Amino acid sequence: MSAEPVLAGIADEAAPDLAGQLAVLAELGWSHLELRTVDGRAVADLDDDEFAVVAKELAARQVRVVCLASRIGGWARPISTPFEDDLAELDVLLRRCAALGTRYVRIMSYPNAGLSELRWRDRVIMRVSVLAELAGAAGVVLLHENCSGWAGTSAERALDLLDAVDNPALRLLFDTGNGVAHGYDGYAMLREVAAHVEHVHVKDASGDRFVLPGSGDARVADCVELLRARGYRGAWSLEPHVSLRPHESGALAPDASPAFVAAGRAMAGLVR
């Protein structure tokens, strides 16, 4: 019999505070969290004392952190952003991975800022190569998400990035709903990159609206079937966007917690 799938969630879409995030995990019966923000602040921006409180509470509740979501290379950090910002964030996150027993950090690949295609590619590869070297030395794997940046919406570029960096500390994170949201065929992309995927975000969308997993146009069930056929054994991490879009308003909808639970139950029905 196959092992039960690991179900996790980016629970700052349910509640800003850690207690609220853990409450929705408990309601779902899950024991894994993908940590992005606490009280509206990125995990790398918590000071050491604040982070120690978070780590202690997670341990007390026996909740494992499957991944730390960074801002490295993301929508708010184009390729023109000083690289020192990313190096500083990674340094903090590598220490926090060690403290939490977490193996993965999510990154993206830098939106352009007026560079030629070739210069953009070369600068992305230079930066990600350095970041992967640092991560690998710390026993951490960087997960590149199909979202913002040079390699975000193209299987060809994602594979080029992996090949050019050529480091086992760089793998892929596939988000099931980003194709619909960003205007490309996510399932077609997944068919090309599935062998390199080590972490999955589950969301679904219909047009410009995010909807419960399985009820939109992202072919979530087909993505799950394809990943399993290619040997995927990682976590399924809920990032529903039904109550929050991180790069828009930071305010949660009033029904954020029940909406997250409903999305979690829909996801569980697809992956169990």
Give the model's confidence band at 35: pLDDT under 50 very low, under 70 low, under 90 confident, else very high.
Answer: very high
Helical H segments across 29-154, by residue range: 48-60, 83-100, 117-137
Max CA pair span of the chain: 52
Boundaries of domain holding 104: 7-271
CA pair distance 271, 2, nearest whole angstrom? 12
Instruction: Examine the pLDDT at 114 and tell me if it is beyond 60.
Output: yes
CA pair distance 197, 190, nearest whole angstrom? 9
Check which CATH number belongs to the domain holding 129 and give it: 3.20.20.150
| Integer-rounded Cα radius of gyration of the chain | 17
Q: Determine, yes or no, domain membership for 27.
A: yes
* Whether the predicted model's global pTM rises above the 0.75 cut: yes
Q: Determine, yes or no, domain membership for 230.
A: yes
Q: Determine, yes or no, domain membership for 2.
A: no
Q: Determine, yes or no, domain membership for 140.
A: yes
Give the model's confidence band at 251: pLDDT under 50 very low, under 70 low, under 90 confident, else very high.
Answer: confident
Give the per-residue pLDDT at 208.
86
For residue 194, which of 164, 233, 163 has the smallest C-alpha distance? Answer: 233
Check: CB of residue 165 under 8 Å from CB of residue 135.
no
Q: Determine, yes or no, domain membership for 33.
A: yes
CA pair distance 99, 52, nearest whole angstrom? 9
Q: Determine, yes or no, domain membership for 159.
A: yes
What is the separation of C-alpha 227 from the centre of its chain, rounded to a whole number of angstroms? 17
Model confidence pLDDT, tens digit, residues 138-170: 999 999 999 999 999 999 999 999 999 999 999
Model confidence pLDDT, tens digit, residues 44-53: 999 999 999 9
Give the model's confidence band at 1: pLDDT under 50 very low, under 70 low, under 90 confident, else very high.
Answer: very low
Q: Determine, yes or no, domain membership for 166.
A: yes
Instruction: Examine the pLDDT at 252 and tell me if it is beyond 60.
Output: yes
Give the per-residue pLDDT at 249.
56
Structural domains of the chain, count: 1
Strand-strand pairing, 197-202 and 204-206 = unpaired
Q: Determine, yes or no, domain membership for 51.
A: yes
Instruction: Examine the pLDDT at 2 and tell me if it is beyond 70.
Output: no
- The residue type at 207: G
